[in-house]
Structures are given as C-alpha cells and as structure tokens.
Structure 1
Amino acid sequence: MIRFGFIGFGKMGRIRAEALAKTERAEGVVVFEPNLDGECDFPLANSPEEIISNDNVDAICISVPNAFNFEYTIGALNAGKHVFCEKPPAFTSQQVREIRLAEKASGKKLMYGFNHRHHGAVMKMKELIDSNKYGKVLWMRGRYGKSVDESYFETWRANKELAGGGILFDQGIHMLDLFLHIGGTFDQVHAFVSSLYWKMEGMEDNVFAIMKNSKTGMAASLHSTMTQWRHLFSLEVFLESGYMVLNGLKTGSGTYGDEILTVAKNRSQAPAATWDDEERFLFETDSSWDSEAEHFISAICNDTPISIGTSHDALQVMELIEDIYENEHHESESLNTHLKPIQ
C-alpha cells in the first residue's frame, strides 16, 4: 500500500483521494487543509511541511492554489516522496526546470494532472493518430470556454498572486497540452491576449493564439475564454487522409455536454469526405480520474516511468504559455509603433 498525504483537500483533493482508493494500492494517512469543508476521514496536519517531513508518507498529492505548486513539489521531492500535482506545474518554465532537477536527484515519481489526456475520446484520438491510418496531422483547432459570474472574484482563481494568470492558466493549458500530445511541438506563435469584459488586472479573459511547427508545417489555433456564455469544448484534428472532431467533454457537472468523437473513416473522392464516411463514438462515462490514479500508482508499484503528465510535458506546455504571453506583448508594441490613426 502506498501511503498518501494530501496537501489541499477541497474538491480536487477529494476527487484524487477517491480515485486513488479505487486502485486498492493506496491509502490516505494525513491531510492538510486550512479551509476544510465537510468531514474528513484522515488525520489533519498543521502545515504542509508536517506532511512533507512525515516518515509515514510515501507519496504526496498536491491540490492547492497555483502559487504553491512549485514550492510544495520541490519540497516533497527533496524529502524523498513521490508527487502528484495539479496543473499548472509552476509559474515559469525556469521553475519547472528546477523541479526536473529535483525529480532526477530524488529518483521518485512525479506526475502532473493533465487530466484531459485520460478522457476516453482523447485516448481514442491518440490511438488512431499513432496508428498512422490517417497520415500525419496537418492542423488542429481548439476552443475551450466557460461562463463565469461575479462570484468568480471571490475565489483564489481571480487573484493574480495565487493564480498566476487568467483563463490560459486555468483552462487553456489543457487544450495546449492536448495540442502537444496529439500534434507535436511549435516554434512559431502569434497571439492576442485581452481582458475586455472582466477587466482583471494582469488576468486575461480571452486568448486567441495561432501556433506553427516550421519544420513540419503543422499549425494549430486556440481560443481560450471565460466570456463563452455557454460552456464549450471542441477539439478538431485534420490529417492527410481524414479528420477527427471531438465536441463536448464528459464531466461531473455535465456542463460541457456529451463527449462525442466524430471520425472520417477515409476520404471519398476529392475534394472532401462525406457525412456518410463518418463514424461517431459516444463516451458516456468519465473515467479520467481513475485512469490517472491507476497510471501513477502503477508507476510507483512497478517502478515504471510516468508516460502521461510527465515533467517534460509540463515543461513543454509552460514554454508554450510563455511564448503566447511574450508574443502578445511584442505584437502590442509592433501595433503601437507601426499603425497610424485614420485621418
């Protein structure tokens, strides 16, 4: 049995604890949560450090505001604990590089909660793409949006010091991770980042980004928003010999609709596939949390590498996020320099 300490036991901490328990190879032994809501079956620690230094803890699950992910992950690895941490891994790519050094020195398992990779439809997409049945990926388009109201500003996610960023850090990071997972890396980025509606200082409510791999020509576009007045998830992947379109995402709240993957079996005569060529897959159960827990526990028990949600995955997505933020800043400077008002 792998003995777990939980730093953070709100909604996500409880979800992780339940999923880990289902593996029947993990047990919770201690929890730190300063704002505990509801009952807790585990003993309570007085501080995160008390859990990190606890000799009775083999692994630590970190589900806290973003600002603390770097500090607690580094501390836990240095203390010889396996670590599962929610996204984002840190505030900067340099911090992730420091985490990777600690991970290597510790010899322990480190996994990040890039949960969307574990959804049934995404796993099906990845399987089909890796089979090369449809050829290489030509382009991708991702839209991920939600609606928030004034109550959002009562949460830590609306606090720049705790969250680190706006909707790109909150939701967009998942879509960027799927782009990297499915299509590969990018070396060119153009982006527009704004806070036109909620007007949060240093916190974006919309991101439009276009990315390209200059070697392969593969491109992707992202719209990440919190002014989508209906929740929406859509991931489209177009390949040399077909396409895959995922609309909806099975979640506990049900707000993103049914998780439906549409696949073109093959191309008809040019110029396009027809509706009759399509096959549709409906994923009625969300087993992503259980899949993540099983992957993490199996890696610990069998001493096998983490293959989904690695620190390398975390580094790649953080570098891409930095490119988006930095590129937007440079484009703004360019616009201010070169555009003149119409007379």
Structure 2
Amino acid sequence: MTQDTITPAASSADALQVLCIGSVLWDIIGRCPTDMRRGSDMPGRITRLPGGVAMNIAMTLARFGLKPDLLSAVGTDPEGEELIAACADLGCGTQHLYRSADLPTDRYMAVEGGNGLIAAIADAHSLEAAGDKILRPLRDGTLGAPRAPYQGAIALDGNLTQALLAEIATDPAFAQAKLHVAPASPGKAQRLHPFLAATRGTLYVNLEEAGLLCQAKFTNSAEAAQALIANGAARVLVTDGDNSASDATTSDANAGADTVITKRPPQVTVARVTGAGDTFMAAHIAAEARGEDRHTALDIALQAAATYVSGDTPL
C-alpha cells in the first residue's frame, strides 16, 4: 500500500475543503546522516522550506487531492511574502491568513541526526500574539458564524495558546465542525486538555504526549489510547514510533466491533523525522474524507508516514 491508495479529487473545484488552523512558518532544518549528541559539530545539509504543523498538514492534504485553506498569522515582511507565494505554489489557500506589519513571520529551527531529532526551537510568537484574529473568517460570516457554524473538517494544532484552544473547544462557531487536533510538540501537549473536558474532536498524539495529558506512563499505544478515552477524549490516535499506532473511540454505534484498533507501522530506514506526525494526521484525515473505514484509514496513515520518514515523498 502506498500514498497513492487515496484517489485524488477529479479537480480542485470538486475537492473537499479542510481548514488548517495553526502555525505556518519557515522550517530551517539541519540534517546529518550520522548519529549526533550534545555538542556535536558535524557536516550535513541545511534546508529552508514552508513548515509549521498546520502547513505540513495542508501540504499533505493538497498532495492527496483535497483543498486545504490556511488560517494563521503571516507577517508582511519579505519572508512572509515569500512564504505566501510558496504556500500558493503548493496548493494551499492563503486568502484567509491574518497579515500584520507588526508581527514578523514565524520560524522553526531543528537539528536532526541519524539517531533522530537532536533539538528544536519553535518561534511561533506572532501566531500567539495574533490570538483569535486568525479565527475571524469563522465568526464574521466569511466561512461561518456562531449562528451558522462551519460544518466541514478542521485540522487544528497546539501552537495556539491554551486560552484560545479552550475557547475553540466550546465555541458555537466550531460546534458543527469535524475537529482534528494535534498538540504540535510534547511541550504543548497539555494545551489539549480542553478537548478532553469537552469530549470534542479527534486527537492525534504520540506516546509521550499521551502520558503528559494523562499524567501517567504508558508502555504501548493501545494502553495510552484507552486511557485518553477514559479521561474524556471522544476519539484519539496514538503513535509510538515504529512500534505501533492505535485508534480508540468511545463505544457507540459508529465504532463497530472494535473500539480500539492497533497496527504496526511499515519498517523503513529513517531519513528524516520532522513533519512525520503531521503527515500521519493529514493522510488519516484524507483517507476518512474519502470514506475509508477505520482499519484502512489507519493503514494508509501509517504507510504515508513511513514513506515520508524514508525520504521518498517531497519535502
């Protein structure tokens, strides 16, 4: 099974729209093929490409034939203008982005070795400063409003402030949307607590993030997924690197016989890690948008993430 398992839409006019809310920035990634440790000074490659959780998800959705539309903050500085052009070239809608001359374009910097991510810093201060201004299209009637809420799919990332995420979890403007939520990083995992409290959305987390949300240690993805459901999650997908991934949901008529599904990812040689979780989430959203069942959607997402980390898909 490959990423091509998902059939692209016939045309952009027919494509399903997915709003991608969160960080849209420049990724600056240094990669070294050999293992690294603290203090290592090694030869490698440094790249700059459009990134951020919302942007990574949007790029993957576009590759699968969907129509991603970005809601974020991008500066009017030269870096911002260049980023807007790059987003458009990648098939990602930019017409609803919040632009401010007072806020510089955000950036993310990471160093990766052959042994995975060594360190990273996310400078998403402009996104946080923009606050709920990025949500105006969902409240002023452009895309939706509290009395006529947006009814499509939304991919939401945890780079927003916890206060804003809490607001979204109970906001009438989001009441009919199909929410897909990721924490962006373990350091921001606890920002997702409002979605547990409100039993809203599908949460995409890794094993470490699940542990932080539940204040517990887990040995596998199935255990973590079940604990998140017990703590209020409506649905959750938990990944554990190349060990396993689990999809758990509350027991209802739509869950079928399996409230928890666990599968093992394809084994591949790792060429990169930044963006793998975002690719998994986007592939899963796209698969279910095409009507795939839970088992097939999880298979597709795992294959897409494996193909990505192996370096076989475009950056």
Would the TM-score normalized by the shorter structure come out above 0.5? no
Question: Please, what TM-score do these two structures have when normalized by structure 1?
Answer: 0.32
- Larger relative CO (CA 8 A, sep 6+): 1 or 2? 1
Question: Please, what TM-score do these two structures have when normalized by structure 2?
Answer: 0.34
